[in-house]
Amino acid sequence: MDNLSELLLQVQKPARYIGGEWNMVKKEWTPLKVKVLLAFPEVYEVGMSYLGLKILYGILNKRDDCLCERVFSPWTDFEEILRKNKMSLFSLESHRAIKEFDIIGISLAYELNYTNALNLLDLGGIPLKSSERGEDDPIVIAGGPACYNPEPMSEFIDAFVIGDGEEVVCELIDVYKNFVNRKDKLREFAKIPGVYVPSLYEAAYNDDGTIKSFLPKEKDLPRKIQKRVVEDLDSSFYPTDQLVPYIQIVHDRIMLEIMRGCKHACKFCQAGTTYRPRRERSKETIVRIAKETYSKTGYEEITLLSLSSGDHSHIREIVEELNSEFKEKGVSVSVPSLRIEDSLSRLPALISQVKKSGLTFAPEAGSECLRKVISKNIDMEKLVEVLRESYRSGWRRVKLYFMIGLPSEKDEDLEDIVKLLYKVSNLKREIDGKDAQVTYSLPVTEGSPEWCMKHGEEAPGLTDGESISISIYGSNLLKRRASIRTFTRPAEEARTRSCHGIS
């Protein structure tokens, strides 16, 4: 790594690879410590925003018998340099090759991480298939939401963690320390609740690829893998000395998880199912974490994180106390993931107490018929009323999420989205005389505007010089309906760029 500084002069963002961030932990590399590398198969700005990585990084580095470091997928410019110079991908803390670690823990947040994860292992000179790894290779463990269906990656991962990781990660370290042989370690891993070791199970498949049978190869192994659940979220570990990067990341703020799980049952929502049951942190714990994290990071925004923040039984008191604590410091409190039906009664109290940054709602579909299909029960008149109150109370930004390509979707459903956007813009114009701006984000697939721009081709539905970020009053969205449909591809047809995880 002697010439690393020189090589980094050739890449776009060297800060992705240098480490040294505020609150970074770098421990002495000694034989007695279990050496864990947390790998997030995405570019630095995305991976550093992942809360799960921050939690595990804190838990493992609190242990005296363990050291924990990080690695992320490099961008194409640095990957090219690594391969050209026959260099291994390395950790941020010690700049050691990733193959030198005892355990590599890969976060699989979604399925598009699969190829990135394999590319990350390949860049480190680690055999891709679990069956090809020997005693000198790291044990590769994967966790995260995409691991609830582990079979697509079962040939490449030594062990999967299903469910919450705060408790099981320490159990894995204890087992690793007490056994010498790789096979013995994996066998003992498999006895830990929530851990699935594919090599110790026999899966048979039907002709259509679905699982026909799933049986353990040894009698003392569980027939079913039960997900791990942290029962008492209030007393579980939460990092207050969060890493502060040198460059802006996707979520560049204090992320404070106030609740895990959701009481609603929207049919399309994976997280609502995988993070059950619903658990809350107490108001006292939340305020304490906020104070400690602010004192150790200096961030100017706090996000109250959950699947549905408005469902917290003490959300009003939490926001009021946080505002009282931080308003003189110029720190804003954002409350994303509000449900419309809950916000109507709570919103006036909330918005009068916090700095007006942004509100987020997710109607998901434009028509009532399509919302019923996905069990998203929303009264659109209440939504309009909430938005009107938001603008009047000084909120600068309201974000609405919609999905395109839902089952049974018709052109009329898309037209209803456009009509709602016009109505929202009219509301804003009535309040402050300004038009709302509409930006749509779509997968980077072959034929999409982003893909065409990168490859120098003409994007369908866009004339030369037009921007993807458009004003309602500056363009006719109704005429863009067909273009939006053109850019949308079914999941099985989406072609993502390997190693970058752009979705």
What's residue 342's pLDDT?
Answer: 56
Range in 52-61, 62-71, 202-211 with the lowest mean pLDDT: 202-211
**The overall pTM is greater than 0.85:** no
What's residue 402's pLDDT?
Answer: 86
Residues 142-166, mean pLDDT to the nearest whole number = 95
4-216: in CATH 3.40.50.2300: yes
217 dihedral zone (left: phi>0; alpha: psi -120 to 50; beta):
alpha
pLDDT tens track for 367-377: 888 988 888 87
d(CA 500, CA 503): 9
Range in 24-33, 252-261, 416-425, 428-437 with the lowest mean pLDDT: 428-437
Q: Which of 75, 15, 1 is nearest to 41 (CA)?
A: 75
Question: Which of 153-162, 209-218, 424-433 is most confident?
Answer: 153-162
Q: pLDDT-derived band of residue 484, with 50, 70 and 90 as boundaries? A: very low
Question: Contact 341/378 with Cβ under 8 angstroms?
Answer: yes
d(CA 161, CA 189): 10
Evaluate if residue 152 carries a pLDDT over 70: yes
d(CA 164, CA 275): 8
What's residue 347's pLDDT?
Answer: 52
β-bridge pairing 103-107 and 34-40: parallel
d(CA 299, CA 332): 10
DSSP string, 63-92: STTEEEEEEEPPPHHHHHHHHHTTPPPB-T
Q: pLDDT-derived band of residue 383, with 50, 70 and 90 as boundaries? A: confident
d(CA 434, CA 427): 9
Tokens of 499: 């190693």
Peptide bond into 198 cis (omega under 30): no
Residues 229-253, mean pLDDT to the nearest whole number = 95
Q: Which residues contact 367 (CB under 8 A, 6 or more apart)?
A: 412, 413, 416
DSSP label of 99: G
Residues in a beta bridge with 334: 303
The values of phi and psi at residue 341, to 5°, are: -65, -30
Q: What is the C-alpha R_g of the chain?
A: 24
Evaluate if residue 216 carries a pLDDT over 60: yes
Question: Contact 47/38 with Cβ under 8 angstroms?
Answer: no
Secondary structure, 3-state, 146-184: HHHCCHHHCCCCCEEECECCCCHHHHHHHHHHHCCCHHH
Evaluate if residue 47 carries a pLDDT over 50: yes
Evaluate if residue 501 carries a pLDDT over 90: no
**Which amino acid, residue 212?**
K
What's residue 397's pLDDT?
Answer: 72
Question: Contact 142/170 with Cβ under 8 angstroms?
Answer: no
Question: Contact 166/62 with Cβ under 8 angstroms?
Answer: no
What's residue 236's pLDDT?
Answer: 96
The values of phi and psi at residue 24, to 5°, are: -65, 145
Q: What is the mean pLDDT of the chain?
A: 83
Evaluate if residue 478 carries a pLDDT over 60: no
The angle, 0 to 180 degrees and rounded to 10, between the axes of the packed helices 168-178 and 182-190 is 150
Evaluate if residue 298 carries a pLDDT over 90: yes
Q: Where are the beta strands (DSSP E) in 81-138?
A: 103-107
pLDDT tens track for 416-451: 988 888 888 788 788 777 766 666 655 544 554 444
Q: pLDDT-derived band of residue 502, with 50, 70 and 90 as boundaries? A: very low
Q: pLDDT-derived band of residue 344, with 50, 70 and 90 as boundaries? A: low
More confidently predicted of 341 and 161: 161
Evaluate if residue 170 carries a pLDDT over 70: yes
β-bridge pairing 201-205 and 211-216: antiparallel
Alpha helices (H) in 124-259, listed in sequence order: 168-178, 182-190
Residues 392-418, mean pLDDT to the nearest whole number = 83
452 three-class SS:
helix
Residues in a beta bridge with 150: none
Residues 171-185, mean pLDDT to the nearest whole number = 95
Evaluate if residue 199 carries a pLDDT over 60: yes
Evaluate if residue 106 carries a pLDDT over 60: yes
Residues 4-30, mean pLDDT to the nearest whole number = 94
More confidently predicted of 478 and 117: 117
What's residue 295's pLDDT?
Answer: 96
More confidently predicted of 377 and 396: 377
Q: Which residues contact 185 (CB under 8 A, 6 or more apart)?
A: 139, 175, 176, 179
| C-alpha triplet 58, 173, 53: angle, nearest 5° | 30
Residues in a beta bridge with 402: 364
Secondary structure, 3-state, 330-375: CCEEEECCCCHHHHHHHHHHHHCCCCCCEEEEEEECCCHHHHHHCC
What share of the chain in percent tops pLDDT 70? 81
DSSP label of 97: B
d(CA 152, CA 160): 12
What's residue 499's pLDDT?
Answer: 28
How many residues does this entry show for the chain? 503
- 3-state DSSP helix/strand/coil percent for the chain, to nearest 5? 40, 15, 45
Residues 85-111, mean pLDDT to the nearest whole number = 96
Question: Contact 239/48 with Cβ under 8 angstroms?
Answer: no
What's residue 167's pLDDT?
Answer: 96
Evaluate if residue 360 carries a pLDDT over 90: no
What's residue 398's pLDDT?
Answer: 76
